[in-house]
Amino acid sequence: MIRHILKIIQAQFRGNLWILAELMVVFVALWIMTDYFIAQYTLYHRPVGFDTDRVYQVTVSKRSVDAPQFIVYPENSEEPKQNFDRIVERIRQHPDVEAVALSMFSLPYTHSNTTYGFRKDSVELWNIRRYNISPDYFRVFDIRPAAGGSPDELAQRLVQPGLVISANLAETFFGRTNVVGEELIQGEDTLKIVAVTESVRNDEYNERLPYASFSQIEFPRDGIVPESTCIQMQITFRIRPNVETAGFEERFMKEMRRQLQAGNFWVSDVQSYNDIREQFLERTSNSSGQQVISSVMLFLLVNVFLAVIGSFWFRVNRRKEELGLRMAMGSSRAGLLRFTITESLLLLTLAALPALFICGNLVYADLVSASAADERLLRFLEVSLITWLLLAFIIVLGVWYPAQKAAHIAPADALRAE
């Protein structure tokens, strides 16, 4: 039957040319939209390398110099750092708290970070995010070694002289992740790698800083840290698994309000990191125009749906007498329906061939979303198959009802019209 239908399509080539051209344009447009949505879905669902469940961020504020209780410390006083440490220790001693971490410009779901570069032989990479953290940072955010294991292992390695780097950075420099003992150069210094973490990202949409290295926060040995530096340090903590998370912030602040004050410092807020994540992703989605792009593409998808259905509905209706004549010549209703659907799908397949050539060139030229694709060929085949199936489904919807009506036309009426 397929060979017979191909001969009919060839015989009616001029009449089919407009539908083939329409299907080719629609296939390319739908392919680009499908590729975009798959890329966004894949990127969003990639592992970020950390876990924010049961994690909270503490906001430490400083009294105004005009406040009656404001303390003026002598020059080079160790008291500001000691007061800050008291607050951190009181949080750590709370029975619901599992781990507390300090960091500087190193939290996920923020635009605040520091970067630097490494080199090895002739390979040099810049814009590597530097995480300045305390060892418990790995426990708080549940960051694990690339080879498997617990965050405690990374915490123990961080205090050793050397580098802790992410898995994707190790793969870029060495082609593997088991690189403990290897060396990288930073400026004039040669640093030994002491641990490799899973790859980490700032957020679900982020590919801007895919590489990461971790180093321990260093404070002056004399303990003299000004209040302005203390206030920049970020405090996060993880609560124990058996603690109820609903309303935890309010309970914690109410219970610890008096204890979370020391010198000029006081804790003004405790916020769930899941809330911070949701707010950041919403702002990112709005600022990057993703919602607008998605809305426009969904609108175009609806128009594609209506255009293809309308074209095939009109095409089958126009050939009602021809289909009725086939009934008069002995075709069954089921056979007529199969013939109409098969012919329509063959037209789609013929139009898809030049369309796939165009789409393949778009992929080759990096003119479509590529940030979430690890394997170009697999991605191309996946998007192409989904696009064909979507259009096939739309075409079957457009053909089925008018073909059913044509199958019920009286043979005498079809012969009279012929």
Claim to verify: residue 149 and residue 16 sit in the same structural domain: no
Residue 323 burial by CB count (10 A; 0-12/13-18/19+): exposed, middle or buried?
buried
Give pLDDT, residue 397: 82
Claim to verify: residue 296 and residue 164 sit in the same structural domain: no
Claim to verify: residue 388 and residue 310 sit in the same structural domain: yes
Claim to verify: residue 259 and residue 291 sit in the same structural domain: no
Give pLDDT, residue 328: 57
Take residue 260 and report the two structure tokens written for it. 């979370």
Percent of the chain with pLDDT over 90: 53
Give pLDDT, residue 155: 97
Secondary structure, 3-state, the chain: CHHHHHHHHHHCHHHHHHHHHHHHHHHHHHHHHHHHHHHHHHHHCCCCCCCCCCEEEEEEEECCCCCCCCCCCCCCCCHHHHHHHHHHHHHHCCCCEEEEEEEECCCCCCCCCEEEEEEECCEEEEEEEEEEECCCHHHHCCCCECCCCCHHHHHHHHCCCCEEEEHHHHHHHHCCCCCCCCEEEECCEEEEEEEEECCCCCCCCCCCCCCEEEEECCCCCCCCCCHHHHCCCEEEEEECCCCCCCCHHHHHHHHHCCCCEECCEEEEEEEEHHHHHHHHHHHHHHHCCHHHHHHHHHHHHHHHHHHHHHHHHHHHHHCHHHHHHHHHCCCCHHHHHHHHHHHHHHHHHHHHHHHHHHHHHHHHCCCCCCCCCCCHHHHHHHHHHHHHHHHHHHHHHHHHHHHHHHHCCCHHHHHHHC
- C-alpha to C-alpha distance for 62 and 11, rounded to whole angstroms: 84
**Mind listing the pLDDT tens digit for each residue in 129-150?**
999 999 999 999 999 999 999 9
Whole-structure pTM value: 0.81
Above 80 in pLDDT, residue 333? no
Question: Is 382 a domain residue?
Answer: yes
Question: Is 54 a domain residue?
Answer: no
Question: Is 200 a domain residue?
Answer: yes
Give pLDDT, residue 67: 85
Claim to verify: residue 364 and residue 413 sit in the same structural domain: yes
Claim to verify: residue 105 and residue 143 sit in the same structural domain: yes
In terms of C-beta distances under 8 Å and separation of at least 24 residues, what long-range contacts does 250-258 make, across chains too?
252/56, 252/94, 252/96, 256/90, 256/91, 256/94
- C-alpha to C-alpha distance for 289 and 306, rounded to whole angstroms: 26
Question: Is 198 a domain residue?
Answer: yes
Question: Is 57 a domain residue?
Answer: no
State the pLDDT confidence band at 83, using cuts at 50, 70 and 90.
Answer: very high
Take residue 132 and report the two structure tokens written for it. 């300045």
Claim to verify: residue 87 and residue 41 sit in the same structural domain: no
Give pLDDT, residue 413: 54
**Mind listing the pLDDT tens digit for each residue in 280-301?**
998 887 655 667 777 887 888 7
**Mind listing the pLDDT tens digit for each residue in 37-77?**
888 888 888 899 999 999 999 999 999 888 888 999 998 89
State the pLDDT confidence band at 219, using cuts at 50, 70 and 90.
Answer: confident
Question: What is the number of structural domains in the chain?
Answer: 2
Claim to verify: residue 314 and residue 363 sit in the same structural domain: yes
- C-alpha to C-alpha distance for 307 and 19, rounded to whole angstroms: 11
Above 80 in pLDDT, residue 195? yes
Above 60 in pLDDT, residue 374? no
Claim to verify: residue 236 and residue 336 sit in the same structural domain: no
Claim to verify: residue 328 and residue 409 sit in the same structural domain: yes
Question: Is 331 a domain residue?
Answer: yes
Give pLDDT, residue 382: 92
Give pLDDT, residue 136: 97
Q: In angstroms, how far is CA 297 from the centroid of its own chain? A: 18
Placement of tokens 């994707």 in the chain? 168
State the pLDDT confidence band at 208, using cuts at 50, 70 and 90.
Answer: low
- C-alpha to C-alpha distance for 211 and 207, rounded to whole angstroms: 9
Q: Which residues span the domain enclosing 218?
A: 71-263
Give pLDDT, residue 153: 97
- Of 232, 263, 294, the residue that ends a domain is 263
Claim to verify: residue 239 and residue 321 sit in the same structural domain: no
Question: Is 120 a domain residue?
Answer: yes
State the pLDDT confidence band at 91, using cuts at 50, 70 and 90.
Answer: very high
Residue type present at position 164: V
Claim to verify: residue 40 and residue 75 sit in the same structural domain: no
Question: Is 341 a domain residue?
Answer: yes
State the pLDDT confidence band at 250, using cuts at 50, 70 and 90.
Answer: very high
Give pLDDT, residue 410: 56
**Mind listing the pLDDT tens digit for each residue in 303-332?**
878 888 887 777 766 666 666 666 656 566
Give pLDDT, residue 52: 96
Contact 196, 165 (CB under 8 A): yes
